[in-house]
Structure 1
Amino acid sequence: MTFAITPAIPAGALSASAQPSLPLHGRNVLLRPWEADDAPVLQRAFQDPSIQRWHTHHVTSREEAQEWITASHQSWQQEQAAQWAITRADGGEILGRIALRWMDLLHGLAECAYWVLPNARGIGLAPRALATLAAWALDEAGFHRLELAHSVGNEASCRVATKTGFVLEGTRRGAHLQLDGWHDMHLHARVQGDA
Protein backbone atom coordinates (compact mmCIF):
# COMPACT_ATOMS: atom_id res chain seq x y z
CA MET A 1 0.00 0.00 0.00
CA THR A 2 1.25 3.49 -0.79
CA PHE A 3 0.57 6.61 1.22
CA ALA A 4 -0.68 9.97 0.01
CA ILE A 5 1.84 11.70 2.27
CA THR A 6 5.60 11.60 2.38
CA PRO A 7 6.77 9.98 5.63
CA ALA A 8 7.99 12.48 8.19
CA ILE A 9 10.98 10.19 8.76
CA PRO A 10 11.90 7.88 5.86
CA ALA A 11 12.00 4.17 6.66
CA GLY A 12 15.57 3.16 7.43
CA ALA A 13 16.65 6.65 8.48
CA LEU A 14 17.12 5.58 12.11
CA SER A 15 18.16 1.96 11.75
CA ALA A 16 20.79 2.79 9.13
CA SER A 17 23.10 3.69 12.00
CA ALA A 18 23.65 2.51 15.54
CA GLN A 19 21.38 3.89 18.23
CA PRO A 20 23.16 7.02 19.48
CA SER A 21 24.38 7.76 22.97
CA LEU A 22 23.26 11.20 24.12
CA PRO A 23 25.23 13.24 26.69
CA LEU A 24 23.32 15.53 29.05
CA HIS A 25 24.67 19.04 28.48
CA GLY A 26 26.78 20.20 31.41
CA ARG A 27 26.23 17.00 33.39
CA ASN A 28 28.26 13.86 33.94
CA VAL A 29 25.35 11.80 32.61
CA LEU A 30 24.91 9.84 29.41
CA LEU A 31 21.87 8.26 27.77
CA ARG A 32 23.16 5.09 26.13
CA PRO A 33 21.61 1.94 24.68
CA TRP A 34 21.15 -0.89 27.16
CA GLU A 35 23.93 -3.50 27.22
CA ALA A 36 23.81 -7.21 28.06
CA ASP A 37 25.73 -6.61 31.30
CA ASP A 38 22.95 -4.29 32.51
CA ALA A 39 20.52 -7.18 33.08
CA PRO A 40 21.05 -7.45 36.88
CA VAL A 41 20.47 -3.71 37.37
CA LEU A 42 17.37 -3.81 35.18
CA GLN A 43 15.99 -6.74 37.16
CA ARG A 44 16.61 -4.93 40.47
CA ALA A 45 15.01 -1.74 39.13
CA PHE A 46 11.74 -3.52 38.53
CA GLN A 47 11.70 -4.63 42.18
CA ASP A 48 11.34 -0.98 43.26
CA PRO A 49 7.77 -0.38 44.51
CA SER A 50 7.46 2.97 42.72
CA ILE A 51 8.55 1.53 39.37
CA GLN A 52 6.19 -1.41 39.89
CA ARG A 53 3.37 0.97 40.83
CA TRP A 54 3.37 2.94 37.58
CA HIS A 55 4.52 0.36 35.02
CA THR A 56 2.57 -2.63 33.77
CA HIS A 57 5.64 -4.48 32.48
CA HIS A 58 7.71 -6.17 35.15
CA VAL A 59 11.05 -7.91 34.91
CA THR A 60 11.19 -10.74 37.43
CA SER A 61 14.36 -12.65 36.46
CA ARG A 62 17.77 -12.08 34.95
CA GLU A 63 16.65 -14.02 31.87
CA GLU A 64 13.66 -11.71 31.45
CA ALA A 65 15.94 -8.70 31.81
CA GLN A 66 18.23 -10.10 29.13
CA GLU A 67 15.26 -10.71 26.83
CA TRP A 68 14.08 -7.13 27.44
CA ILE A 69 17.51 -5.77 26.49
CA THR A 70 17.67 -7.94 23.37
CA ALA A 71 14.17 -6.80 22.40
CA SER A 72 15.20 -3.16 22.86
CA HIS A 73 17.97 -3.61 20.28
CA GLN A 74 15.56 -5.32 17.88
CA SER A 75 13.03 -2.50 18.34
CA TRP A 76 15.66 0.02 17.25
CA GLN A 77 16.51 -2.03 14.16
CA GLN A 78 12.79 -2.32 13.35
CA GLU A 79 12.30 1.41 14.05
CA GLN A 80 9.48 0.66 16.47
CA ALA A 81 10.95 1.92 19.78
CA ALA A 82 14.18 3.10 21.38
CA GLN A 83 15.37 2.47 24.95
CA TRP A 84 18.25 4.16 26.75
CA ALA A 85 19.88 3.58 30.12
CA ILE A 86 20.52 6.82 32.01
CA THR A 87 24.06 6.41 33.32
CA ARG A 88 26.91 8.30 34.90
CA ALA A 89 29.38 9.09 32.13
CA ASP A 90 32.37 8.28 34.36
CA GLY A 91 31.93 4.66 35.33
CA GLY A 92 28.56 3.85 33.89
CA GLU A 93 26.44 3.54 37.06
CA ILE A 94 22.84 3.14 35.87
CA LEU A 95 20.51 5.81 37.26
CA GLY A 96 17.34 5.17 35.27
CA ARG A 97 15.69 4.51 31.94
CA ILE A 98 14.26 6.74 29.24
CA ALA A 99 12.59 5.68 26.02
CA LEU A 100 10.62 6.37 22.95
CA ARG A 101 8.33 3.47 23.84
CA TRP A 102 6.74 3.48 20.40
CA MET A 103 7.54 5.34 17.21
CA ASP A 104 5.42 6.14 14.15
CA LEU A 105 7.83 7.30 11.44
CA LEU A 106 5.09 7.99 8.90
CA HIS A 107 3.56 10.69 11.08
CA GLY A 108 6.75 11.64 12.94
CA LEU A 109 5.16 10.71 16.26
CA ALA A 110 6.60 8.96 19.35
CA GLU A 111 5.70 8.46 23.01
CA CYS A 112 8.23 9.10 25.79
CA ALA A 113 8.56 7.06 28.97
CA TYR A 114 11.01 7.13 31.88
CA TRP A 115 11.84 6.02 35.39
CA VAL A 116 14.65 6.86 37.79
CA LEU A 117 16.16 4.59 40.43
CA PRO A 118 15.63 5.60 44.09
CA ASN A 119 19.22 6.79 44.65
CA ALA A 120 18.90 9.26 41.75
CA ARG A 121 15.48 10.74 42.53
CA GLY A 122 14.90 14.31 43.60
CA ILE A 123 17.92 15.84 41.83
CA GLY A 124 16.24 16.84 38.57
CA LEU A 125 17.64 13.93 36.58
CA ALA A 126 14.39 12.88 34.88
CA PRO A 127 13.61 16.35 33.46
CA ARG A 128 17.18 16.75 32.19
CA ALA A 129 17.16 13.31 30.57
CA LEU A 130 13.75 13.96 29.00
CA ALA A 131 14.90 17.35 27.68
CA THR A 132 17.95 15.69 26.10
CA LEU A 133 15.86 12.95 24.51
CA ALA A 134 13.29 15.46 23.23
CA ALA A 135 15.99 17.66 21.69
CA TRP A 136 17.48 14.69 19.86
CA ALA A 137 14.11 13.33 18.73
CA LEU A 138 12.69 16.65 17.52
CA ASP A 139 15.82 18.40 16.25
CA GLU A 140 17.99 15.56 14.95
CA ALA A 141 15.89 12.45 14.34
CA GLY A 142 13.09 14.44 12.70
CA PHE A 143 10.07 13.62 14.83
CA HIS A 144 7.32 16.22 14.63
CA ARG A 145 5.47 15.38 17.87
CA LEU A 146 6.38 13.66 21.13
CA GLU A 147 3.67 12.51 23.50
CA LEU A 148 3.90 11.53 27.14
CA ALA A 149 1.10 9.85 29.09
CA HIS A 150 0.97 9.15 32.82
CA SER A 151 -1.63 8.24 35.40
CA VAL A 152 -3.31 11.31 36.85
CA GLY A 153 -2.19 9.93 40.22
CA ASN A 154 1.49 10.07 39.25
CA GLU A 155 2.22 13.65 40.29
CA ALA A 156 6.00 13.23 40.02
CA SER A 157 5.72 12.26 36.36
CA CYS A 158 3.42 15.22 35.74
CA ARG A 159 6.05 17.58 37.21
CA VAL A 160 8.74 16.07 34.96
CA ALA A 161 6.57 16.56 31.87
CA THR A 162 5.67 20.18 32.61
CA LYS A 163 9.24 21.13 33.61
CA THR A 164 10.39 19.83 30.24
CA GLY A 165 7.90 21.79 28.15
CA PHE A 166 5.44 18.96 27.51
CA VAL A 167 2.12 20.82 27.46
CA LEU A 168 -0.81 19.16 29.22
CA GLU A 169 -3.36 18.59 26.47
CA GLY A 170 -6.05 16.78 28.41
CA THR A 171 -7.13 13.64 30.21
CA ARG A 172 -7.82 10.30 28.57
CA ARG A 173 -10.49 8.78 30.80
CA GLY A 174 -10.10 5.14 31.86
CA ALA A 175 -7.28 4.73 29.36
CA HIS A 176 -4.80 2.48 31.14
CA LEU A 177 -5.25 -0.71 33.13
CA GLN A 178 -2.99 -0.95 36.19
CA LEU A 179 -2.87 -3.55 38.96
CA ASP A 180 -5.41 -1.54 40.97
CA GLY A 181 -7.81 -0.94 38.05
CA TRP A 182 -8.36 1.57 35.27
CA HIS A 183 -6.52 4.89 35.47
CA ASP A 184 -7.30 8.17 33.82
CA MET A 185 -4.19 9.36 31.99
CA HIS A 186 -2.85 12.87 31.47
CA LEU A 187 -1.66 13.44 27.92
CA HIS A 188 1.24 15.87 27.44
CA ALA A 189 2.98 16.72 24.17
CA ARG A 190 5.79 18.70 22.58
CA VAL A 191 5.99 19.49 18.89
CA GLN A 192 8.78 20.82 16.72
CA GLY A 193 9.19 24.52 17.34
CA ASP A 194 7.98 24.51 20.96
CA ALA A 195 10.21 26.53 23.26
Structure 2
Amino acid sequence: MTYEVADVVPAGRMRDTEQPVLPLPCGLELRPWRRADAPKFVEAGQDPDIQYWNRPGLLTVEEAERRIERWAKRWRSEVAAIFAIAEPGGGEVVGAAGVGDILLAHGHGEILYWLLPAGRGKGVASEAAVRLTRWAIDDLGLHRVRLTHSTANGASCRVAEKAGFTYEGTMRSALLHADGWHDEHLHARVQGDPWPQ
Protein backbone atom coordinates (compact mmCIF):
# COMPACT_ATOMS: atom_id res chain seq x y z
CA MET A 1 0.00 0.00 0.00
CA THR A 2 1.26 3.49 -0.90
CA TYR A 3 0.70 6.41 1.44
CA GLU A 4 0.53 9.95 0.14
CA VAL A 5 2.44 12.55 2.10
CA ALA A 6 1.21 16.10 1.56
CA ASP A 7 3.68 18.84 0.66
CA VAL A 8 4.87 20.66 3.76
CA VAL A 9 4.57 24.02 1.96
CA PRO A 10 2.39 24.26 -1.15
CA ALA A 11 3.95 25.46 -4.39
CA GLY A 12 3.34 29.13 -5.08
CA ARG A 13 3.96 30.38 -1.54
CA MET A 14 7.04 32.32 -2.75
CA ARG A 15 6.43 32.98 -6.44
CA ASP A 16 2.98 34.41 -5.81
CA THR A 17 4.35 37.07 -3.42
CA GLU A 18 7.00 39.76 -3.50
CA GLN A 19 10.23 39.08 -1.65
CA PRO A 20 9.80 40.90 1.69
CA VAL A 21 11.94 43.48 3.45
CA LEU A 22 12.79 42.23 6.95
CA PRO A 23 14.06 44.65 9.63
CA LEU A 24 16.91 43.60 11.93
CA PRO A 25 17.24 44.69 15.59
CA CYS A 26 20.59 46.37 14.83
CA GLY A 27 18.86 48.88 12.53
CA LEU A 28 19.83 47.22 9.26
CA GLU A 29 17.38 45.38 7.01
CA LEU A 30 17.23 42.34 4.80
CA ARG A 31 15.94 43.32 1.37
CA PRO A 32 16.02 42.00 -2.19
CA TRP A 33 19.22 42.70 -4.11
CA ARG A 34 19.07 45.41 -6.81
CA ARG A 35 21.15 45.85 -9.95
CA ALA A 36 22.58 49.00 -8.37
CA ASP A 37 24.08 46.80 -5.61
CA ALA A 38 26.33 44.99 -8.09
CA PRO A 39 29.51 46.96 -7.19
CA LYS A 40 29.16 45.81 -3.55
CA PHE A 41 28.89 42.22 -4.76
CA VAL A 42 32.06 42.74 -6.80
CA GLU A 43 33.73 44.12 -3.65
CA ALA A 44 32.65 41.02 -1.72
CA GLY A 45 34.35 38.79 -4.26
CA GLN A 46 37.60 40.62 -3.64
CA ASP A 47 37.44 40.27 0.16
CA PRO A 48 39.80 37.46 1.24
CA ASP A 49 37.53 36.15 4.03
CA ILE A 50 34.40 36.12 1.88
CA GLN A 51 36.32 34.57 -1.01
CA TYR A 52 37.74 31.82 1.20
CA TRP A 53 34.60 30.79 3.10
CA ASN A 54 31.94 31.49 0.46
CA ARG A 55 33.65 31.43 -2.95
CA PRO A 56 31.52 34.07 -4.70
CA GLY A 57 34.15 34.41 -7.42
CA LEU A 58 35.91 37.41 -8.86
CA LEU A 59 33.14 39.09 -10.84
CA THR A 60 32.81 42.08 -13.10
CA VAL A 61 29.93 44.47 -12.44
CA GLU A 62 28.07 42.93 -15.39
CA GLU A 63 28.57 39.41 -14.02
CA ALA A 64 27.38 40.56 -10.60
CA GLU A 65 24.26 42.09 -12.19
CA ARG A 66 23.52 38.76 -13.90
CA ARG A 67 24.00 36.91 -10.58
CA ILE A 68 21.55 39.31 -8.90
CA GLU A 69 19.04 38.65 -11.71
CA ARG A 70 19.49 34.89 -11.16
CA TRP A 71 18.71 35.37 -7.47
CA ALA A 72 15.40 37.02 -8.41
CA LYS A 73 14.65 34.05 -10.69
CA ARG A 74 15.50 31.64 -7.88
CA TRP A 75 12.86 33.39 -5.71
CA ARG A 76 10.27 32.93 -8.47
CA SER A 77 11.41 29.30 -8.89
CA GLU A 78 10.97 28.87 -5.12
CA VAL A 79 14.42 27.42 -4.51
CA ALA A 80 16.19 30.32 -2.75
CA ALA A 81 15.58 33.62 -0.99
CA ILE A 82 18.75 35.73 -1.14
CA PHE A 83 18.74 39.12 0.60
CA ALA A 84 21.11 42.06 0.84
CA ILE A 85 21.94 43.13 4.39
CA ALA A 86 21.76 46.89 4.07
CA GLU A 87 21.11 50.24 5.64
CA PRO A 88 17.36 50.96 5.54
CA GLY A 89 15.72 52.73 2.64
CA GLY A 90 18.01 51.45 -0.09
CA GLY A 91 21.19 52.26 1.80
CA GLU A 92 24.65 50.73 1.61
CA VAL A 93 24.99 46.95 1.44
CA VAL A 94 27.15 45.41 4.20
CA GLY A 95 26.50 41.75 3.45
CA ALA A 96 24.26 39.04 2.15
CA ALA A 97 22.08 36.45 3.83
CA GLY A 98 19.51 34.02 2.60
CA VAL A 99 17.80 30.69 2.68
CA GLY A 100 19.12 28.42 -0.04
CA ASP A 101 18.43 24.86 -1.12
CA ILE A 102 14.74 25.40 -0.39
CA LEU A 103 12.54 22.37 -0.96
CA LEU A 104 9.01 23.53 -0.18
CA ALA A 105 7.49 20.07 -0.55
CA HIS A 106 9.94 18.65 2.01
CA GLY A 107 9.83 21.74 4.24
CA HIS A 108 13.50 22.58 4.56
CA GLY A 109 16.25 25.00 3.52
CA GLU A 110 19.71 26.21 4.51
CA ILE A 111 20.86 29.54 5.97
CA LEU A 112 23.75 31.27 4.21
CA TYR A 113 25.49 34.60 4.80
CA TRP A 114 28.59 36.71 4.39
CA LEU A 115 29.58 40.14 5.65
CA LEU A 116 31.82 42.86 4.30
CA PRO A 117 34.23 44.36 6.87
CA ALA A 118 31.76 47.21 7.62
CA GLY A 119 29.24 44.66 8.94
CA ARG A 120 31.53 42.41 10.97
CA GLY A 121 31.90 42.17 14.73
CA LYS A 122 28.47 43.61 15.55
CA GLY A 123 26.29 40.50 15.75
CA VAL A 124 24.74 41.19 12.33
CA ALA A 125 25.19 37.64 11.03
CA SER A 126 23.46 36.14 14.08
CA GLU A 127 20.60 38.64 13.83
CA ALA A 128 20.21 37.89 10.12
CA ALA A 129 20.24 34.13 10.77
CA VAL A 130 17.53 34.43 13.44
CA ARG A 131 15.36 36.76 11.34
CA LEU A 132 15.63 34.62 8.22
CA THR A 133 14.91 31.45 10.15
CA ARG A 134 11.85 33.03 11.76
CA TRP A 135 10.67 34.11 8.30
CA ALA A 136 11.37 30.65 6.83
CA ILE A 137 9.58 28.77 9.63
CA ASP A 138 6.85 31.17 10.78
CA ASP A 139 5.95 32.92 7.50
CA LEU A 140 7.01 30.55 4.72
CA GLY A 141 6.13 27.40 6.68
CA LEU A 142 9.33 25.37 6.48
CA HIS A 143 9.75 22.70 9.15
CA ARG A 144 13.57 22.54 9.32
CA VAL A 145 16.33 25.03 8.57
CA ARG A 146 19.99 24.01 8.70
CA LEU A 147 23.21 25.98 8.92
CA THR A 148 26.51 24.38 7.91
CA HIS A 149 30.07 25.69 8.02
CA SER A 150 33.64 24.48 7.88
CA THR A 151 34.87 23.18 11.22
CA ALA A 152 37.75 25.65 10.78
CA ASN A 153 35.34 28.60 10.72
CA GLY A 154 34.90 29.41 14.40
CA ALA A 155 33.05 32.66 13.66
CA SER A 156 30.28 30.79 11.86
CA CYS A 157 30.03 28.29 14.70
CA ARG A 158 29.43 31.22 17.08
CA VAL A 159 26.78 32.63 14.70
CA ALA A 160 24.93 29.30 14.75
CA GLU A 161 25.09 29.07 18.55
CA LYS A 162 23.92 32.68 19.08
CA ALA A 163 21.08 32.13 16.58
CA GLY A 164 19.85 29.14 18.60
CA PHE A 165 20.77 26.40 16.14
CA THR A 166 21.37 22.98 17.69
CA TYR A 167 24.67 21.33 16.81
CA GLU A 168 23.85 17.96 15.24
CA GLY A 169 27.23 16.62 14.17
CA THR A 170 30.17 16.79 11.81
CA MET A 171 29.92 15.94 8.13
CA ARG A 172 33.25 14.56 7.02
CA SER A 173 34.98 16.01 3.96
CA ALA A 174 31.78 17.82 2.96
CA LEU A 175 32.92 21.03 1.25
CA LEU A 176 35.79 21.78 -1.11
CA HIS A 177 37.75 24.96 -0.38
CA ALA A 178 40.85 26.26 -2.15
CA ASP A 179 43.05 24.40 0.35
CA GLY A 180 41.20 21.09 0.06
CA TRP A 181 38.21 19.30 1.55
CA HIS A 182 36.85 20.57 4.85
CA ASP A 183 34.73 18.79 7.42
CA GLU A 184 31.57 20.74 8.18
CA HIS A 185 29.50 21.26 11.30
CA LEU A 186 25.78 20.73 10.87
CA HIS A 187 23.42 22.86 12.99
CA ALA A 188 19.64 23.03 12.62
CA ARG A 189 16.43 24.50 13.96
CA VAL A 190 13.02 22.89 13.59
CA GLN A 191 9.51 24.18 14.14
CA GLY A 192 8.86 24.44 17.86
CA ASP A 193 12.46 25.08 18.93
CA PRO A 194 12.62 28.02 21.37
CA TRP A 195 13.94 31.26 19.88
CA PRO A 196 17.06 32.81 21.41
CA GLN A 197 16.55 35.68 23.86
For the criterion TM > 0.5, the same-fold answer is: yes
* Aligned 8 A contact 1:59 1:65 in 2: no
Q: What's the secondary structure of 1:31's corresponding residue?
A: strand
Q: How does 1:95-134 map to 2 (within 5 A)?
A: 95-134=94-133
Contact 1:42 1:59 in 2 (8 A): no
CA deviation after TM superposition for structure 1 residue 137, in Å: 0.8
- Is residue 71 of structure 2 the alignment partner of residue 61 of structure 1? no
| Large movers: runs of 4+ above 3 Å | none
CA distance in 2, matches of 1:143, 1:111: 11
Query: Hey, what's the Cα distance between the residues in 1 that align with 2:58 and 2:4?
Result: 41
Instruction: Report what 1:39 is aligned to.
Output: 38
Equivalenced residue count is 193
- Deviation, 1:91, is 5.3
TM-score normalised by the chain length of structure 2: 0.94
1:23: which partner in 2?
23
* TM-score of the pair, normalised by structure 1: 0.95
Kept in 1: contact 2:45–2:55 (CA 8 A)? no
Seen in structure 2, the aligned counterparts of structure 1 residues 103 and 55 have a Cα distance that, compared at 3 Å, is same
Identity of aligned residues (%): 46
Change (3 A) 1:91 1:18: closer
What are the ranges of 5 or more consecutive residues in structure 2 without an aligned counterpart? none
Q: What is the SS of the residue equivalent to 2:20? A: coil
SS class of match (2:59): coil
Counterpart of 1:190 in structure 2 is 189
What is the RMSD computed on CA atoms of the aligned residues? 1.4
Q: Deviations over 1:102-140 (max 9, x none)?
A: 101111100110011111111111111111111111111
- Letter paired with 2:63: E
Structure 1: distance between partners of 2:117 and 2:190: 30
